[in-house]
Structure 1
Amino acid sequence: MGDDVDAVTERLLDGQSGIRPLPSELRLKNDRAAYLEDVGNPDRKARLIELTTQSVKSALSDARIDVQTPNPHAFLIIGTSLGYRLDSEEFHQDPLHQWTDEVGARVGMTPLALSTACSSGSDAILLGAHLIRSGQADLCVCGGADVLGDAKRLAHTALGTLSSTTLKSFDQSHDGTLLGEGAGFVVLQRQGLERHKPYAYLVGCGASNDAAGLTAPDETGAGIRLALDRALAEADLSRNQVSLINAHGSGTHTNDRVESAAYNEYFGDYHPLVFATKGAFGHTLGATGALEAIALIKALQTQSVPPVFGLQQPLPDLEFDLPIQKPARTRGNVGLSLTIGFGGFNTALVFQRFDQ
Structure 2
Amino acid sequence: MEEEIESSLLNQSLTILDRFSNLEDIDVVAGGSLVLRLLICFVYSVVCAVGLVGNLLVLFFIRVKQERKKSRVNLFVLNLAVTDFQFVLTLPFWAVDTALDFSWPFGNAMCKIILSVTVMNMYASVFFLTAMSVTRYWSVVSSLKDRTRQWSVSAKWVCAMIWVMATVATAPTSIFSSVTNVTGEKLCLLRFPGGQYWLAVYHIQKILIGFVLPMSIVSFSYIMLLRFIRHRSMKPGNPKRRSQVTKSVTIVVLSFFLCWMPNQAITFWSVLVKLNAANWDKAYYIVHSYVFPVTVCLAHANSCLNPIIYCLMRKEFRKKLKDLIFRG
State the TM-score, normalized to the length of structure 2.
Answer: 0.30
Task: Give the number of the structure whose residues are more often strand, by fraction.
Answer: 1
